[in-house]
Structure 1
């Protein structure tokens, strides 16, 4: 029974791994949103990381980055105590839009 359960959980985790969101490099450019794409997906390419670091200096080197990198900026913004503004997200989006061209 334990072997069957373990095999099932391994199979499930492998299946769920295939369902995770693609990295920014694999995401169609139109689908990348500064506010709605996970921060780690934006930072997955050198260009995306540079845009993040330009508009939100220090975000990718923040001590808690590993804890919030799977979240979107809209999710992190309320917890940032004003450090992430709507204007910064808009500026990041403008830079990401330039990468599409």
Structure 2
């Protein structure tokens, strides 16, 4: 699938993805996100994975993403989208956000 091929490119980035993740996540973000609404724009994938319902919603929409959690856990879905070669487009982000909104 497109997502598999696209996210395979993340593996080629090697250490770049964790470096991006560290830059994108301020130290105070985890505490703020714990009480905040789930968002494809602001919630890191690592935080999404801590919520079983959100994790299930994410994996329903993007089943192939599970293989990349270790590389992208510090990033948001919106940050991963440009690297997905179209597999995570605006429509997919909206569908995932709708699932998140239904959880809360």
Structure 1 and Structure 2 fold alike (TM over 0.5):
yes
Residue number in structure 1 paired with 2:28: 19
Question: What TM-score does the superposition give when structure 2 sets the normalisation length?
Answer: 0.64
What's the offset of the Cα at 1:40?
1.2
Residue number in structure 1 paired with 2:10: none
Secondary structure in structure 1 of the residue aligned to 2:47? helix
Greater helix proportion: 2
Distance in 2 of aligned mates of 1:52 and 1:84: 11
Residue number in structure 1 paired with 2:45: 39
Residue number in structure 1 paired with 2:87: 83
Structure 1 segments unaligned to the other structure (5+ residues): 1-17
Aligned length: 78
Larger Rg: 1
Q: Structure 1 runs of 4+ off > 2 angstroms? A: none
Distance in 2 of aligned mates of 1:86 and 1:71: 17
CA RMSD of aligned residues (A): 2.0
What's the offset of the Cα at 1:79?
0.8
Residues 45 and 69 of structure 2 are in contact (CA less than 8 Å); yes or no, is this contact kept in structure 1? Answer: no
Judged with a 3 Å threshold, the aligned counterparts in structure 2 of structure 1 residues 19 and 36 are, in CA distance, closer, same or farther, namely closer
Question: What TM-score does the superposition give when structure 1 sets the normalisation length?
Answer: 0.66
Choose between structure 1 and 2 for higher RCO, CA contacts under 8 A separated by at least 6 residues: 2
